[in-house]
Amino acid sequence: PVTAVVLVAAGSGERLGYGIPKAAVPLGGEPILLHALRGIVAAGVGSQVCVALPAGDDGLRQLVEDFRLELADGGPLLTTVDGGATRADSVRSALGSLVEGTEAVLVHDAARALTPEYVFHRVVDSLAAGAVAVIPAVPVVDTVKTVVPTTGEDGRMAPEIVTGTAPREELRAVQTPQGFHLPTLLRAHEAALKFDERQTAAVTDDAMLVELLGVPVHVVHGSTQSLKITTPLDLIIAEGLLEGPLG
């Protein structure tokens, strides 16, 4: 299928705490966004790459312009859009600007700047084999519990109380790129426009919107190298991976 990649890079990077958009934060001396763009182009998975950037960020826009000049003939069409207030808004903005004739889309986080090529290929291969939605995922290493907040008799916050332990063998930590038939993802994102504030805040990936349509979401193996750079610790790990990737 004619495939586009949506690269969402419009977040502010609050948890990383650099005071600049996360996409501009240096990793191995170069902006995170540049690593992410190189990874997509090296994987050769899309005829268009549409990057959602923080609105009005001329520095990141220039970075994409400069990268376009580096692209060899036959490289993907590289476009940008202004992202929105939430990740889903940024995805919607990019989906609305894909070229006519696009049949499938991979949605990827710029924060997963070191995703190995083989992860992209697993997702693309699954789409080619007929999946309508496909996500890369890895087993969960921690024991995961559900909790509820409690309040003491004096009304002050008391410790959280455990309500259950999730069966770990059934859990997966989900990554990007997530691949979809474009019409299905458009329908899923349109439905999400009707969400209330609480539901909107609970949207953390694209696949969950497709799940709500009742469409089966296939799972392929991701990679622990495909970590989402979220906290300062993640940046240290990513720097280490650049030094010498795990086998």
What residues make contact with Mg ion under the rule CB under 5 A?
11
What's the min distance (Å) between Cβ of 85 and Mg ion?
Answer: 11
93 contributes a contact to ligand CTP by CB under 6 A: no
66 contributes a contact to ligand CTP by CB under 6 A: no
> According to CB under 6 A, which one of 15, 145, 168, 221 is a site residue for ligand CTP?
15
What's the min distance (Å) between Cβ of 33 and ligand CTP?
Answer: 9
22 contributes a contact to ligand CTP by CB under 6 A: yes
111 contributes a contact to ligand CTP by CB under 6 A: yes
79 contributes a contact to ligand CTP by CB under 6 A: no
What's the min distance (Å) between Cβ of 131 and Mg ion?
Answer: 27
What's the min distance (Å) between Cβ of 242 and ligand CTP?
Answer: 18
Q: Which residue from 196, 195, 247, 191 is spatially nearest to 224, judged by alpha carbons?
A: 247
161 and 175 Cβ atoms separated by less than 8 Å: no
97 contributes a contact to ligand CTP by CB under 6 A: no
Can you tell me the distance from the alpha carbon of 182 to that of 59, in angstroms, rounded to the nearest whole number? 30
Instruction: Please report where in the chains the tokens 């650049």 appear, as a residue.
Output: 242
Contacts made by residues 38-42, CB under 8 angstroms, sequence distance 24+: 39/113, 39/114, 39/115, 39/117, 39/120, 40/5, 40/7, 40/76, 40/108, 40/120, 41/71, 41/75, 41/76, 42/117
The token duo for 195 is: 């969400």
The CA-atom distances, in angstroms, between 239 and each of 51, 168, 173, 208 are 23, 29, 22, 31
What's the min distance (Å) between Cβ of 8 and Mg ion?
Answer: 10
> According to CB under 6 A, which one of 109, 119, 124, 215 is a site residue for ligand CTP?
109
Residues at the site binding ligand CTP, with contacts judged by CB under 6 A: 8-15, 22-23, 52, 83-87, 90, 109-111, 228, 230
